Homo-oligomer: A and B are copies of this chain.
């Protein structure tokens, strides 16, 4: 009997994965990872050169990402089928051998593995290894603490409505916003309404070689979906 081990790989720099993650991926006989059509995926990229000889790779390619609106029932159906099918496949392998699922960041913080996890509850033994989150890699890249003392930290997705983004941005000390991409203009308007725009940083690919740290109000072009916006808390400091 084997098990399914989902290991967080950290924010991007391979040197930031945990000792446990490194041992798991360098000795695994089966690894699985999510990726989009035409992209290898960050998870697989992070472990490049570290997998054992003879490993079997299971590339779990999303059937759809942004081609269909998330509100279309077809989107939900396609993804449910995809997760059902991979839960079955990985569950079968785990009857005999361990499978290591590679996840960038921290698996239980907005990770995709949870959709397999919920389907594997009574099917296989599952273990989760936490990782340094992408947002931590990004706030470390700004060179300033994200929270001090009794600061309240809000983490939200730029997919929310402009009104909700503005209200929440105004009503917190420190702020992290993910899933930006095409939501950038909406997010910028919301941050301006909340009086936080001039204090917002935008980090692309934190801890990776292409890392880019900018003030939000100096950005003119587009930003990737996986960029992260940050407002640092200003709490108590003796």
Query: Could you tell me the distance between the alpha carbons of A152 and B109 in the complex, rounded to whole angstroms?
Result: 11
The stretch that binds B, out of A137-145, A190-198, A219-227, is A137-145
Asked if A18 contacts B20 (CB within 8 A), the reply is no
Asked if B130 contacts A145 (CB within 8 A), the reply is no
**A69 at interface by CB-CB < 8 Å:** no
Which residues of A from 189 to 238 have beta carbons under 8 Å from B?
Answer: 207, 236-238
Query: Could you tell me the distance between the alpha carbons of A106 and B130 in the complex, rounded to whole angstroms?
Result: 13
Query: Could you tell me the distance between the alpha carbons of A16 and B20 in the complex, rounded to whole angstroms?
Result: 6
**Minimal Cβ-Cβ distance residue in B for A81:** B238
| A31, chain B: closest CB distance, angstroms | 18
**A130-B207, A147-B155, A153-B154 are known contacts; what are 7 more A-B pairs with Cβ within 8 Å?**
A18-B18, A19-B19, A109-B145, A109-B146, A115-B238, A150-B157, A152-B157
A sample of 30 inter-chain contacts (CB < 8 A) reads A8-B132, A10-B18, A15-B18, A16-B19, A16-B20, A16-B129, A76-B238, A79-B238, A80-B238, A106-B132, A106-B136, A108-B136, A108-B139, A108-B147, A109-B146, A110-B148, A110-B151, A111-B145, A114-B148, A117-B145, A128-B140, A129-B140, A130-B136, A149-B157, A152-B155, A152-B157, A152-B160, A153-B154, A154-B154, A155-B155
